[in-house]
């Protein structure tokens, strides 16, 4: 009878341990960082993107289709008055500037629209934008956990 009791206690302890673990704990998983935009009917996913708080044109947000390239490639270049959470009006020749380099390498300025920074953690920003360009085409996009 004693071996049966020992086995039952061991099984009970094992089941208690098994069900006490949480499979939903995501604190050790890396946070996804992504920057996407749609222009001329095509959705693009940036291979690199960042937000800068100092330097020429800062504060700014940039995204590119090329990884680790010193040359500009297709994607948005955004200069803002701040990277703080809030809504920024994009107007041609204003302090909040939006430029888009298309796949052909042509540069189009933003004439109207807005950019929303929905979250600023101090190390990353998230938000979205919708801007009409000088060629009268819209570009819309979203950025999530873009490193500052």
Q: What pLDDT, in 10s, does the model give residues 93-122?
A: 999 999 999 999 999 999 999 999 999 999
Of the pLDDT bands very low, low, confident and very high (cuts 50, 70, 90), residue 79 is: very high
Cα R_g (the chain), whole angstroms: 24
pLDDT at 69 over 70: no
Name 51's bridge partners. 61
Q: How confident is the model at residue 73, as a pLDDT?
A: 82
pTM score: 0.78
pLDDT at 137 over 70: yes
pLDDT tens sequence across 31-54? 799 999 999 999 999 999 999 998
Of the pLDDT bands very low, low, confident and very high (cuts 50, 70, 90), residue 55 is: confident
E-only strand ranges, 40-85: 42-45, 48-52, 60-64, 75-79
Q: What 3-state DSSP class applies to 47?
A: coil
Q: The tokens of 70 are what?
A: 């010193």
Give the residue among 34, 30, 32 at the shortest CA–CA distance from 43: 34
Of the pLDDT bands very low, low, confident and very high (cuts 50, 70, 90), residue 8 is: very low
Cα distances from 9 to residues 13, 19, 107, 111, 113, in angstroms, run 6, 16, 72, 72, 67
């Amino acid at each position: 009878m004693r071996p049966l009791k020992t086995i039952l206690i061991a099984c009970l302890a094992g089941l208690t341990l098994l069900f006490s673990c949480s499979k939903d704990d995501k604190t050790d998983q890396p946070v996804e960082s992504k920057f996407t935009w749609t222009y001329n009917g095509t959705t693009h996913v940036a291979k690199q993107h960042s937000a800068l708080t100092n330097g020429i044109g800062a504060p700014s947000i940039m995204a590119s289709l090329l990884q680790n390239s010193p040359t500009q490639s297709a994607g948005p270049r955004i200069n803002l008055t701040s990277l703080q959470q809030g809504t920024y009006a994009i107007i041609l020749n204003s302090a909040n500037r939006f430029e888009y380099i298309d796949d052909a390498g042509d540069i189009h300025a933003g004439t109207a629209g807005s950019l929303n920074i929905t979250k600023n953690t101090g190390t990353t920003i998230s938000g979205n934008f919708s801007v009409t360009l000088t060629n009268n085409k819209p570009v819309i996009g979203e950025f999530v956990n873009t490193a500052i």
